[in-house]
Structure 1
Amino acid sequence: MLRLPRLVRSRGLRYSSSIPRFPCVEAHATRESRLTSLASDSIPGPSSGPEPPYARPNPASYTIFHSPNPLPLTYHLSPLPSFDIAYETWGTLSPSKDNVILLHTGLSASSHAASTAANPADGWWEKFIGPGKPLDTNNFFVICTNVLGGCYGSTGPSSTDPSTGSHYATRFPILSIFDMVRAQFRLLDHLGVQKLYASVGSSMGAMQSLAAAWLHPERVGKVVSISGTARSSPSSVAMRFAQRSVLMADPNWNNGFYYDGVPPHTGMKLARQIATITYRSGPEWDARFGRQMRPLPADADPNGPRVPALCPDFLIETYLDHQGEQFCLKYDANSLIYISKAMDLFDMTLPSLQALGLPEAQFDAVDADGRARPHSTSHSKSHPPPTNPPAHLPALAQGLAPLAQTPTLVLGVQSDILFTVEQQREVVNALHMAGNDRVVYYELGGVWGHDTFLLDVMNVGGAIRGFLS
């Protein structure tokens, strides 16, 4: 029988028959055992970096719009009986209410896009909103909402179901991006806003921005789509499916009914770690962390060999651990499941839109043979037709026909692995095929990946400022 040597001198490792300890697992279990709510303690970890701080907003810092009227839903015969939308505003509404920008968020962001008197903490787009900034509050009145299905003031799975008096949990209906936008336009109706100066969004917000102009082309003056898509790709669907899978495998998820117990801490943490990998790029990880190791424990021999551990050893590992831990205590697991599923379902190709049973009026700009009416193959010299268009591109052009007259800015990022530049080019080409000759497209470099829209104020902000002026 092969026997392992008691000591491997070349590596400095000593085999032992004692049961090994895993401090990272023990620390995680200790934190989970303390949880009785989603409130977060201060969590140690490598928090330094360019990311904006992520914070759970104070309910006193946003306004709630309550709609007592039923909201029709894409995938359900029964409407949502009533709903709340949390929102915040910046700037001054003009007397004619024609200077409104509706800002759409990514999957997990709250309505707190920038600091306000009620909440002076930095928002997730702090450097983009304010006097003289890309969304210039000297000129524009900016509105940002927490999306329907969210957990920061808007109605979602964690809200109380008025028919039962308990949390909706997974009794909450499946949502679409279009449902979220319809709820936002209920808010605009309430505020007396007939037409938006612009609909602006990044990531999932870019989907909403396109959907807003599709649902209400007469009410949207301009569209800004940053690092988004008009049709979720199989790769992004796969990434989000993996996140939902690890979350739903957590026993504490309990089929979504965890609100009276411990939340699915482990599943949420792992889901966020997967997501974080897709938000940035390999070159950035290399420049930022390289193969640096975490500091040695205080009781370690600084002159002895460094013994690898099965717990985090590399700084990139401790970073992901920290990001997952921070997020899982601040966001509702069911909201992540529902909103990410809505992103997967998003598809603006004509057959998909027709299959949803959306209003036939939305297809008025399409001929009987399915082609967009206004010069359907128009291309500018700077944007020639694609040489090898994907098979679904004509159907996407037909679906985007209602946007044929809407000036549109599309921004893509070369290092983005979640919403790749191919998806941005696809939106541009489809809009051109639909007859839109007022499309502006920028493709940005850099190493920040998908999160470029949060970090590159000079290039992303400059493009927005120029387009909105």
Structure 2
Amino acid sequence: MASARSFIRAAARPSPLSVHRPGGPNVPLIARPVVQQRMPVRRLHRENSKGTQPADSPIKPDIGSSNPALSFPCLDAVESRSATFSARSSGPEPSYTSGEHETFHSSEPLLLDWGGILPEFDIAWEAWGTLNADRSNAILLHTGLSASSHAHSTVSNPKPGWWEKFIGPDLPLDTSKYFVICTNVIGGCYGSTGPSSKDPANGQRYATRFPILTMEDMVRAQFKLLDHLKIQRLYASVGSSMGGMQSLAAGVLAPDRVGRIASISGCARSHPYSIALRHTQRQVLMVDPNWARGFYYPDDTNTNRVPPHAGMKLAREIATVTYRSGPEWEQRFGRRRADPRRPPALCPDFLIETYLDHAGEKWCLEYDANSLLYISKAMDLFDLGAAHQSMTRERRGENMAHIVEKLAQHKRDADMDDATCSLTLPEIPYEEQPETDQQTLSQSQERPRTSSVPPEDLVKGMADLASTPALVMGVASDILFPAWQQREIADTLRRAGNRSVTHIELGEDKSLFGHDTFLLDLENVGGALKRFLA
């Protein structure tokens, strides 16, 4: 150790002379003084397009350093995108749209579960197939968090939809038999009223003045569309992921309007793990300075605002981790690096990292950041338990008295909004309880993984579905909505008296695609759905 330290000290001391051979190895040696010796910079990774650090870079020159500073092309790309937005004079906000669609406009106000009001609203929708004479063959297809109404291509929008292979003649959603309707949920950004829409009270974007939503709010808005189409009863309510939550909510809200239910990779109530994952996505988005408390849309005073694309990118990367599975990624990526001949990088280096980086980069401007916040929070609030439903009905009754006054004012009253719409932090933050030990956990009533008996509160809350045929599907490789959550739905329905429950769980031998199985597995998911509807 001593000799090693001596060597380092000796190497660190500058020599008074340095041998310099100006013309090459065959030219006589010349003694030449050196002011300071510096090791050449190793080009470990590609620097920015000019090959130098930006003028305002916080990185100090590595003069005299033992090693050169790493370059960060992934951060350069983010900064470059921000600079591009800042240079636009017309404003950077993209036009969130999935193409041509139908629009239903409701001039009637919609009272929301947490006291907010939409004085009027739009629902973007598309349909495939033909509505029969007695309007009894309609299927309402509910979407996942970020999907538009464009589930299948249309004449006006030939781009393939997100369930393109599942909709059509003789396909799971057979358009030779059924009239299939898909909407963009309220709170979304693909044509339905959401945070990026303008408040009719003042003509300004809602932004984070938009009220808190629930799954039931979304379904009520969809029912307004069904009323407009004069569809009194659905042949089926079908959905996957968040759509699976909506399909159950539709049956509970109006059991007389829903003939059957298909809930794929969904749940009857959100559980802590999925809530935690969505929380982290919202946090990384909200700490992006460009989010600006939700007011990042260009307006008359500032047409050059930059959307929170960096936060959106990170949020999507976290989400993508939950959408796909470990087994699939093991086969697809393994531990392979993008270029094993190059030194490791702190930017995307492994194939799985480059995949996540691409997924985030591709999506960060395709979806409105505020819509992600509001809709993901609505997923967290979902609970079909009897106690939760009872509290919601009570709150709606109390808030109904405000609706006439609020609409007559035709403006938002800040005090009233605070009293009826806002969610606040608890007065006492969470503290770890010392008595929470293994014995306490073993006695907990909230252990659906190991118990096939669902809580009685949930059984009571779903009692209205006792006579509604139901298909419940789960996937063993799903980490976002684990298969035990679908077993909970099926067990709850059966304990509520439903004798027409079809429960299917796809093991890893059937599907390795995790939560996204419902988008990809036409044979197993599509086949089961087709048999159930028939």
TM bin, normalised by shorter chain, reads 0.7 to 0.9
Measured after TM superposition, the shift of residue 79 of structure 1 is 2.6
**Is the CA contact (8 Å cut-off) linking 1:393 and 1:426 kept in structure 2?**
no
**Is the CA contact (8 Å cut-off) linking 2:197 and 2:205 kept in structure 1?**
yes
Question: Pick from 79, 84, 98: which aligns with 1:57?
Answer: 98
- Residue 450 of structure 1 aligns to a residue in which SS? helix
Task: Specify the alignment match of 1:288 in structure 2.
Answer: 332
Structure 1 residue 136 and structure 2 residue 186: aligned? Answer: no
Q: CA separation in 1, counterparts of 2:465 and 2:308? A: 41
Task: Specify the alignment match of 1:196 in structure 2.
Answer: 234
**Is the CA contact (8 Å cut-off) linking 1:200 and 1:209 kept in structure 2?**
yes
Q: CA separation in 2, counterparts of 1:390 and 1:238? A: 24
Amino acid at match of 2:160: D
Question: Pick from 424, 440, 443: which aligns with 2:502?
Answer: 440
Structure 1 residue 468 and structure 2 residue 533: aligned? Answer: yes
**Is the CA contact (8 Å cut-off) linking 2:97 and 2:189 kept in structure 1?**
no
Q: How does 1:111-190 map to 2 (within 5 A)?
A: 111-190=149-228
Q: CA separation in 1, counterparts of 2:314 and 2:78? A: 12
Task: Specify the alignment match of 1:451 in structure 2.
Answer: 516
Q: CA separation in 1, counterparts of 2:165 and 2:530? A: 13
**Is the CA contact (8 Å cut-off) linking 2:454 and 2:488 kept in structure 1?**
no
Amino acid at match of 2:216: F
Question: Pick from 285, 302, 316: which aligns with 2:352?
Answer: 316
Structure 1 residue 99 and structure 2 residue 137: aligned? Answer: yes
Task: Specify the alignment match of 2:493 in structure 1.
Answer: 431
Question: Pick from 69, 78, 91: which aligns with 1:28?
Answer: 78
Listed one character per residue, the Cα deviations across residues 393-449 of structure 1 (whole Å, up to 9, x for unaligned) are 211111000111100000000000000011000000110110001000100122100
Listed one character per residue, the Cα deviations across residues 43-84 of structure 1 (whole Å, up to 9, x for unaligned) are xxxxxxxxxxxx9412xx1011000001111001x5321100
- Residue 356 of structure 1 aligns to a residue in which SS? helix
Q: How does 1:205-216 map to 2 (within 5 A)?
A: 205-216=243-254
Question: Pick from 15, 33, 37: which aligns with 2:92?
Answer: 37
Q: CA separation in 2, counterparts of 1:387 and 1:162? A: 47
Structure 1 residue 356 and structure 2 residue 392: aligned? Answer: yes
Q: CA separation in 1, counterparts of 2:388 and 2:251? A: 17
Task: Specify the alignment match of 2:363 in structure 1.
Answer: 327
Q: How does 1:341-352 map to 2 (within 5 A)?
A: 341-352=377-388
Q: CA separation in 2, counterparts of 1:109 and 1:79? A: 24
Task: Specify the alignment match of 1:223 in structure 2.
Answer: 261
**Is the CA contact (8 Å cut-off) linking 2:449 and 2:484 kept in structure 1?**
no
Task: Specify the alignment match of 1:43 in structure 2.
Answer: none
Task: Specify the alignment match of 1:367 in structure 2.
Answer: none
Task: Specify the alignment match of 2:457 in structure 1.
Answer: 395
- Residue 213 of structure 1 aligns to a residue in which SS? helix
Amino acid at match of 2:74: C
Distance 1:103 1:358, change over 3 A: farther
**Is the CA contact (8 Å cut-off) linking 1:272 and 1:323 kept in structure 2?**
yes
**Is the CA contact (8 Å cut-off) linking 2:141 and 2:239 kept in structure 1?**
yes
Amino acid at match of 1:354: S
Distance 1:391 1:253, change over 3 A: farther
Question: Pick from 111, 128, 131: which aligns with 1:72?
Answer: 111
Amino acid at match of 2:98: P
Q: CA separation in 1, counterparts of 2:111 and 2:449? A: 41
Q: CA separation in 2, counterparts of 1:92 and 1:16? A: 72
Distance 1:121 1:358, change over 3 A: farther
Q: CA separation in 2, counterparts of 1:27 and 1:129? A: 38
**Is the CA contact (8 Å cut-off) linking 1:177 and 1:342 kept in structure 2?**
yes
TM-score, normalised by the number of residues in structure 2: 0.75
Q: How does 1:362-373 map to 2 (within 5 A)?
A: none
Tell me, which stretches of 5 or more residues in structure 2 are unaligned? 13-37, 45-61, 86-90, 299-304, 398-447
- Residue 409 of structure 1 aligns to a residue in which SS? strand
Listed one character per residue, the Cα deviations across residues 368-403 of structure 1 (whole Å, up to 9, x for unaligned) are xxxxxxxxxxxxxxxxxx996478621111100011
Distance 1:388 1:394, change over 3 A: farther
Measured after TM superposition, the shift of residue 24 of structure 1 is 1.5
**Is the CA contact (8 Å cut-off) linking 1:349 and 1:392 kept in structure 2?**
no
TM-score, normalised by the number of residues in structure 1: 0.85
The structure having more radius of gyration, on CA atoms, is 2
**Is the CA contact (8 Å cut-off) linking 1:248 and 1:255 kept in structure 2?**
yes
Same amino acid, percent of matched pairs: 60
**Is the CA contact (8 Å cut-off) linking 2:117 and 2:211 kept in structure 1?**
no
- Residue 462 of structure 1 aligns to a residue in which SS? helix
Listed one character per residue, the Cα deviations across residues 226-255 of structure 1 (whole Å, up to 9, x for unaligned) are 000001010000000000000000000000
Task: Specify the alignment match of 1:267 in structure 2.
Answer: 311
Q: CA separation in 2, counterparts of 1:391 and 1:350? A: 16
Distance 1:279 1:115, change over 3 A: same
Listed one character per residue, the Cα deviations across residues 251-274 of structure 1 (whole Å, up to 9, x for unaligned) are 000000000111101110000000
Q: CA separation in 1, counterparts of 2:182 and 2:146? A: 13
Task: Specify the alignment match of 1:373 in structure 2.
Answer: none
Measured after TM superposition, the shift of residue 21 of structure 1 is 2.1
**Is the CA contact (8 Å cut-off) linking 1:158 and 1:168 kept in structure 2?**
yes
- Residue 481 of structure 2 aligns to a residue in which SS? coil
Amino acid at match of 2:109: P
